[in-house]
Structure 1
Amino acid sequence: MSITPLRTGHGAVPLGDAVARFLDRYRDEPGTAGTYAETLTHLLAAAGQNAPIAELGPPLYAVVMARWDERAPATWNKHLSALRSFAAYAIRNEWIVADPARHLERRKITQRGDQAVPQARLEALFTDDRNTLRERVLWRLLYDTAARAEEILTLNIGDLDLEFRRARTRSKGGDTEYLHWATATARLLPRLLAGRTAGPLFLAERRSPASGKRARALTDIDPVSGRGRLSYPRAEYLFKQASVRHDPHGSGWTLHQLRHSALKHLAASGRSAPELQAKSRHKHLATLGHYVRLGEETSARLTADNDPLARRRPR
């Protein structure tokens, strides 16, 4: 995609053009581009495509961020980071002189001890026939690969290597990497493909609009049915709704918990930190600390195994 140089000078650039130029920098990182686009779409809706970029200021950013006031701290921080990244880009180009997010603060994320979902409950969810085939394949694939949800949702059929049970993806840093899945996913994938040979792996329920603001890029549309790529918000909503039936607390789970659970279960089975790093594709071992640190399931098993009054089955 060719980009026409924008006029420089304080406030001279239309906001819509600046956003398009910013997102084009991530054209080879669809996961990152999608995350940023989700946030910046709301910025454009609040200010307007043709608003001068000089209108970027604390009041406008506060209006945009108010949309996520009641959401989890991690969600708030994600969108705030996107707005700050865009502002930093605008400052480097001398379109604005100060960060509009300077009055907004990241929110503290309280670490929960039950992020990993017990395997038995996940298996009950994965085999629940009340859920569609698309959802069951998506959830299995996320768990088997321990991948980020954005990486799986941006997969195209051409990225799959069914023979070797792997898929090619772009990491957060733009590197080409491979995700590997197990037998349960391998059995379901051909049913999901149903003969399709091109287009997004996971499709939305409806056809994508051919024109207008909601029109998608051709790479995000199935060439046969015209259906668009399944979005992260929709996938997250469906998972939350389905998992409520299996969550004893009645809250439901998040897609990220599938990645967290997969790595925690591997750690509990005795896999080393370097092995977990190979599976998760984290750049640094230090970031694996909360996965290597065993959690509630291990505590419960150790307690039961060392209970002197528990009845023992004869060996």
Structure 2
Amino acid sequence: MGGFVGSDPCAWLTWYADKKHWTAPAERRREHVDETKAVSRSRIDWLCRRRDVPLREKTLWRMLYETSAQAAEVLSVNIEKLDLANRQAPVVVKGGDTRWITWGTDTARLLPRLIAGRTSGPLFLSEYRPGPHRRATLDPDDICLETGRARPGYNRARILLGQYSDGLELHQLRHSSATHLGEANTSANVIMAKTGHKSLRSVQRYVQPGLAAVHTATETLSSPRRRG
């Protein structure tokens, strides 16, 4: 056996490890869990109020957070489908089903400025009109007849958020929304209805208490202040 003498299996493994022919069996590598997906409400508020951020991005990010919806769902919204009075709109989800997304006061304040009098077509529009070749490949529903501009894609939205936020991902807005709802003691059934998840197990991934909730809980362990 290549000059190895002896029948002790432990010695055999040691010899092969020393010779670097192979490494001895080791414990299975533990998967690292990312526990930083949810971000604070204050960070989201700060990001959406920055003066150097365009109105389109502010509205998209605020809407993603307040609706708890997926980015593809929000980007697919058309103006004529908006129910501005009731702060809701229908979106088509995977499988072709339709569900309603709802937003809050901050999004409601931004939407009229973003729409700017348009009555139909994509809610969110690209910065420039697509060229002839690009336009030929687009679905007619993705082009605004009033402006000639097109619905922006997911990748463009992802890149812009990363640039302005130093690496924040679109899904983190949805994750943060669900986490903050959970911290506010919103029932799991309501969170499921808002996020569009079909199972409680799926929702539980998103409603883990965030760091702010952990800090609040930690304060209960501190000694009561002495009365003056």
Task: Give TM class, smaller chain.
Answer: 0.7 to 0.9
Q: CA deviation at 1:313?
A: 10
Say whether residues 1:164 and 2:79 are aligned partners. no
Say whether residues 1:181 and 2:96 are aligned partners. no
Query: Partners of 2:201 and 2:36 in 1: how far apart?
Result: 21
TM (norm. structure 2) is 0.81
What's 1:308 paired with?
A: 223
1:21-170 aligned within 5 A: 110-170=32-92
Query: Partners of 1:209 and 1:313 in 2: how far apart?
Result: 72
Structure 2 CA distance for partners of 1:211 and 1:110, relative to 1, 3 Å:
same
What's 1:292 paired with?
A: 207
Q: CA deviation at 1:306?
A: 2.3
Query: Partners of 2:51 and 2:210 in 1: how far apart?
Result: 30
Gaps of 5+ in 2: 1-29
Question: Which amino acid counterpart does residue 253 of structure 1 have in structure 2?
Answer: L
1:262 aligned to which of 151, 157, 177: 177
Q: CA deviation at 1:164?
A: 0.8
Contact 1:208/1:221, CA 8 A, preserved across alignment = no
Query: Partners of 1:124 and 1:289 in 2: how far apart?
Result: 27
Gaps of 5+ in 1: 1-107, 245-251
Instruction: Answer with 1 or 2: which has the greater Rg.
Output: 2
Structure 2 CA distance for partners of 1:110 and 1:154, relative to 1, 3 Å:
farther
Query: Partners of 2:47 and 2:177 in 1: how far apart?
Result: 15
Say whether residues 1:278 and 2:185 are aligned partners. no
Query: Partners of 2:210 and 2:222 in 1: how far apart?
Result: 19
1:201 aligned to which of 117, 123, 135: 123
Task: Map Cα deviations across residues 59-100 of structure 1 (whole Å, 9 max, x no partner).
Answer: xxxxxxxxxxxxxxxxxxxxxxxxxxxxxxxxxxxxxxxxxx
Question: Which amino acid counterpart does residue 37 of structure 2 have in structure 1?
Answer: Q
Query: Partners of 2:153 and 2:188 in 1: how far apart?
Result: 32
Equivalenced residue count is 199
Query: Partners of 2:135 and 2:126 in 1: how far apart?
Result: 17
TM (norm. structure 1) is 0.59
Contact 1:277/1:285, CA 8 A, preserved across alignment = yes
Q: CA deviation at 1:308?
A: 2.3
Question: Which amino acid counterpart does residue 197 of structure 2 have in structure 1?
Answer: H
- SS of alignment partner, residue 227 of structure 1: coil
Structure 1 stretch displaced more, 188-197 or 154-163: 154-163
Structure 1 stretch displaced more, 180-189 or 282-291: 282-291
Root-mean-square deviation (CA, aligned residues, Å) is: 2.1
Question: Which amino acid counterpart does residue 279 of structure 1 have in structure 2?
Answer: K
Contact 2:180/2:207, CA 8 A, preserved across alignment = no
Structure 2 CA distance for partners of 1:307 and 1:256, relative to 1, 3 Å:
same
What's 2:146 paired with?
A: 224
What's 2:11 paired with?
A: none
Identity %: 43
Question: Which amino acid counterpart does residue 131 of structure 1 have in structure 2?
Answer: V
Q: Does 1 or 2 have the higher relative contact order (CA < 8 Å, sep 6+)?
A: 2
Query: Partners of 1:261 and 1:222 in 2: how far apart?
Result: 31
